[in-house]
């Protein structure tokens, strides 16, 4: 076994990647990512002690969320970045250690995670491969499962916290929780019941961080509005922006204005088209392509420059690798990286723009428009129409089909499921899972589109807010009494925090697919089944019959 990773839905054999990651990461990169998390845990141990005495270490919050975010599936494949980040983590850790000692804090005998030292690349690599660093360091399968469930939730939380932070929105309580929870994953005195409770608390802070990011996005760029998004092309050189970070989107649009270079969104950046603030840019053309896993063929045909702002990188073809750039927590060897902002100044995208000018316009791969922009504010504006449709029986049931897309052939299930749903049902979606059905002609119900796209994966928060509002409108005691079913596709760790957030809000009987997470041990999976009614998918016909049977019972 050269490595062990089972954090994403594509874990090899449904158990874990042991030689090379299905995502494309090598064993040595996987080890460095494990050591990155180990180093962040050391910071968490000391940071939690600082929190207990009310001491704030400048830069600690941001460093920890970046360290977690870098290890999300498909985010960063650049070993050099991890070498440097691990070194920086130990410098920050030792500074904090000295400051705590100066304040009279008794640190006692610090465990290895908060005290290990490495002085060279060879020592970093040796430490990264040591038995105490990786996932399997926790021998008890159920405890390991719960610890990793929490850690993966924290990774998703960190991603959303970073996007909010980029827009100037921070919540110290979220940062403190990340430290406390990470430190708790090292505590051998905690029982399985303790860790289940901590996982639910992680869900609580998941709700908080998604609310924070929603506030950051809507306060900065306005509430998403119903929008027809162009999926064709124009005859200008262009930049394709992928990922999730709207601050990067804003700065790229500002810097490309008047240059003759068009901007298109890709993948999870599609919802940027829904924000009023971005609609003023004439060179913002629309969306190109589909979900992340199709990027090899689509990036080749795009012809222009591609910018990754976050995760969802697929190891590239040589034909386009020289025109891909990264920024933020993303990275890939050979891709040029745009540095972070310094002293509040915008990132410098001039190199991308000049590069784009030398390239051909995009090759058209489709024509037409798709509709989105149904975040909570927009749906509330339609509330009377929706409530009336429910009361009259025009809408029998809502299906939350949020989450992630992926490469597995089995994910065709979600397209077939959407196509087979009765005409009196509506799909509520967010995340790149929507690419399985957002271009289908599913029609509408009395003017309400049958696919309501709230936005990015973090906008699953909007779907929860909509559900809670409907519960209030219909004067129900339990959110599970609503005519809403949850059939969610997952792929990586942001989906984990969304799941924990929904469980914290009391949502039950969520169906996950195309497979349950490999990191759930048999016993932990059974706890989720018994306590929350978690299920998986079967066939389209059986699942629709089951879901609609529940609708008739309700």
Q: What is the mean pLDDT of each run of 10 residues along the chain (554 residues)?
A: 96 97 97 98 98 97 98 98 98 98 95 96 97 96 98 98 98 98 98 98 98 98 97 98 98 98 98 98 98 97 98 97 98 97 96 98 98 96 94 96 95 98 97 97 96 95 94 95 97 97 96 97 96 96 92 47
Distance CA 297, CA 310 (A): 20
Q: What is the pLDDT of residue 223?
A: 97
| Whether the Cβ atoms of residue 455 and residue 274 lie closer than 8 Å to each other | yes
Rounded Cα distance between 270 and 284, Å, is: 12
Would you call 234 helix, strand, or coil by DSSP?
coil
- Give CA–CA dist 237/305, Å, rounded: 9
Residue 84 tokens read as 């440097």
For residue 193, give Cα distances in angstroms to 111, 189, 198, 502, 509.
Answer: 24, 11, 9, 19, 21
The candidate with the shortest Cα–Cα distance to 378, out of 435, 448, 431, 472, is 448
CB neighbours of 19 closer than 8 A, spacing ≥ 6?
A: 1, 2, 3, 27
- Sheet (strand 397-400) strand order: 451-453, 425-429, 397-400, 484-489, 511-513, 535-536
> Which CATH number is 1-137's, of 3.30.70.2860, 3.40.50.720, 1.20.1270.20, 3.40.50.12780?
1.20.1270.20
Q: HSE on the CB side for 150, CA within 13 Å?
A: 26
Q: Do 148 and 135 meet the contact criterion of CB atoms below 8 Å apart? A: yes
CA-to-CA distance for 544 and 550, rounded, in angstroms?
10
Burial grade of 24 (CB within 10 A; 0-12, 13-18, 19 or more): middle
Q: Which of 245, 42, 285 is nearest to 161 (CA)?
A: 245
* Whole-number Å distance between alpha carbons of 509 and 226: 30
Cis ω before 514 (30° cut-off from 0): yes
> What b/e readout covers 28-57, taking b as 16+ CB neighbours within 10 angstroms?
ebbbbbbbbbbbbbbbbbbbbbbbeeeeeb
pLDDT for position 550? 59
What is the reported pLDDT for 237? 98
State the pLDDT at residue 549: 86
Strand order through the sheet with 305-308: 284-287, 262-265, 238-242, 305-308, 324-327, 336-338
Q: Which fold has domain 227-357?
A: Rossmann fold (3.40.50)
Cα distances (angstroms) measured from residue 275 to each of 225, 270, 280, 457: 7, 10, 10, 16
Nearest of 60, 88, 251 to residue 170 by alpha carbon: 60
Q: Where do the CATH 3.40.50.2030 domains begin and end in the chain? A: 227-357
Neighbours of 60 (CB within 10 A): 21
**Contact criterion met (CB below 8 Å) for 96 and 57:** yes
pLDDT value of position 554: 44
**Range list for CATH 1.20.1270.20 in the chain:** 1-137
């Amino acid at each position: 076994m050269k490595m062990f990773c089972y954090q994403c839905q594509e874990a090899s054999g449904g158990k874990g990647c042991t030689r090379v990651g299905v995502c494309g990461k090598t064993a040595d990169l996987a080890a460095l990512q494990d050591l990155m998390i180990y180093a962040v845990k050391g910071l968490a141990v000391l940071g939690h002690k600082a929190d207990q005495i009310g001491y704030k270490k400048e830069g600690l919050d941001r460093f920890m969320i970046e360290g977690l975010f870098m290890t999300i599936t498909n985010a960063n494949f650049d070993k050099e970045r991890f070498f440097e980040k691990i070194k920086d983590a130990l410098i920050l850790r030792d500074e904090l250690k000295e400051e705590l000692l100066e304040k009279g804090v008794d640190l006692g005998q610090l465990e290895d995670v908060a005290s290990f030292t490495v002085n060279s690349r060879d020592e970093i690599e040796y430490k990264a491969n040591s038995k105490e660093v990786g996932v399997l360091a926790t021998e008890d399968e159920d405890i390991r499962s719960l610890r990793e469930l929490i850690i993966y939730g924290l990774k998703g939380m960190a991603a959303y916290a970073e996007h909010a932070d980029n827009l100037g929105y921070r919540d110290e309580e979220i940062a403190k929780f990340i430290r406390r929870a990470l430190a708790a994953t090292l505590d051998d005195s905690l029982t399985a019941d303790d860790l289940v409770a901590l996982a639910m608390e992680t869900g609580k802070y998941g709700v908080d961080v998604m609310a924070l990011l929603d506030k950051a996005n809507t306060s900065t760029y306005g509430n998403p509005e119903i929008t027809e998004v162009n999926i064709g092309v124009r005859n200008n050189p262009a930049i394709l922006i992928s990922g999730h970070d709207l601050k990067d989107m804003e700065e790229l649009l500002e810097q490309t204005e008047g240059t003759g270079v068009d901007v298109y969104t890709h993948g999870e950046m599609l919802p940027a088209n829904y924000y009023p603030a971005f609609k003023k840019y004439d060179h913002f053309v629309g969306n190109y392509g589909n979900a992340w896993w199709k990027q090899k063929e689509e990036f080749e045909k795009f012809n222009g420059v591609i910018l990754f702002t976050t995760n969802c990188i697929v190891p590239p073809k040589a034909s386009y690798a020289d025109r891909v750039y990264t920024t933020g927590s993303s990275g890939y060897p050979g891709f040029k990286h745009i540095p972070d902002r310094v002293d509040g100044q915008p990132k410098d995208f001039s190199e991308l723009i000049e590069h784009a000018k030398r390239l051909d316009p995009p090759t058209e791969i489709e024509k037409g428009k798709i509709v989105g922009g149904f975040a909570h504010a927009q749906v509330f504006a339609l509330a009377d129409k929706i409530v009336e449709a429910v009361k009259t029986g025009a809408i029998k049931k809502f299906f939350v089909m949020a989450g992630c897309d992926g490469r597995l052939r089995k994910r065709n299930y979600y397209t077939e499921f959407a196509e087979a749903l009765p005409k009196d049902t509506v799909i509520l979606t967010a995340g790149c899972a929507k690419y399985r059905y957002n271009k289908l002609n599913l029609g509408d119900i009395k003017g309400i589109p049958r696919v309501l796209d709230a936005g990015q994966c973090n906008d699953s928060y909007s779907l929860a807010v909509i559900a809670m509002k409907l519960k209030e409108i219909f004067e129900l005691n339990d959110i599970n009494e609503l005519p809403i079913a949850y059939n969610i596709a997952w792929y990586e760790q942001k989906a984990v925090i969304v799941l924990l957030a929904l469980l914290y809000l009391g949502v039950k009987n969520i169906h996950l697919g195309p497979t349950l997470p490999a990191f759930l041990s048999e016993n932990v999976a059974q706890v989720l089944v018994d306590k929350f009614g978690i299920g998986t998918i079967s066939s389209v016909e059986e699942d629709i019959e089951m879901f609609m049977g529940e609708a008739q019972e309700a």
